[in-house]
């Protein structure tokens, strides 16, 4: 019934790669800066805001990015990268509704309401779910000096 030469199913499909804390923090910083760049595209490319208005209005994306900003300083900054990656599609949706879709009459656009409200929850869920996917692919944090002893 069972063959002796069956491959081990628990092994990942790709080789494991231990990511250092420094590399993970760099990747997380790139994720956060990528989200800020998407917001800059929305602000400058579509809303034609000034630099001062852009910095003042960054407070609105700080709410959904709060999990990413908090998890950046933990022992696993890949969670911050995951939170940033799960929030970014909401900014792409906001850009497509505000700038790409044709005007369909009515009042002011309310697209940033779901971006802020639902973006917070997807960022939070992504911060805790996507690291499992990272582990499945083979990315994992290398153990710290305290864990190696």
pLDDT tens over the chain, length 149 residues:
555 665 555 555 566 778 888 999 999 999 999 999 999 999 998 878 899 999 988 998 999 999 999 999 998 899 999 999 999 999 999 999 888 877 776 766 788 899 999 999 999 999 999 988 888 887 888 776 555 55
29-49 pLDDT per residue, tens: 999 999 999 999 999 988 788
Q: Cβ of 81: how many Cβ atoms within 10 Å?
A: 29
């Amino acid at each position: 019934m069972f063959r002796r030469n069956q491959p081990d199913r628990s092994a990942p499909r790709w080789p494991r790669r231990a990511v250092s804390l420094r590399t993970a923090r760099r990747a997380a910083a790139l994720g956060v800066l990528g989200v800020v760049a998407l917001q800059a595209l929305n602000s400058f490319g579509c809303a034609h805001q000034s630099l001062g208005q852009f910095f003042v209005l960054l407070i609105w994306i700080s709410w959904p990015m709060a999990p990413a900003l908090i998890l950046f300083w933990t022992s696993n900054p890949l969670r911050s990268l995951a939170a940033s990656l799960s929030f970014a599609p909401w900014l792409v949706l906001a850009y497509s509704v505000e700038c790409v879709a044709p005007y369909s009459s009515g009042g002011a656009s309310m697209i940033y309401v779901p971006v802020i409200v639902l973006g917070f929850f997807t960022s939070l869920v992504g911060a805790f779910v996507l690291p499992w996917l990272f582990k499945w692919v083979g990315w994992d944090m290398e153990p710290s000096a305290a864990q190696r002893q």
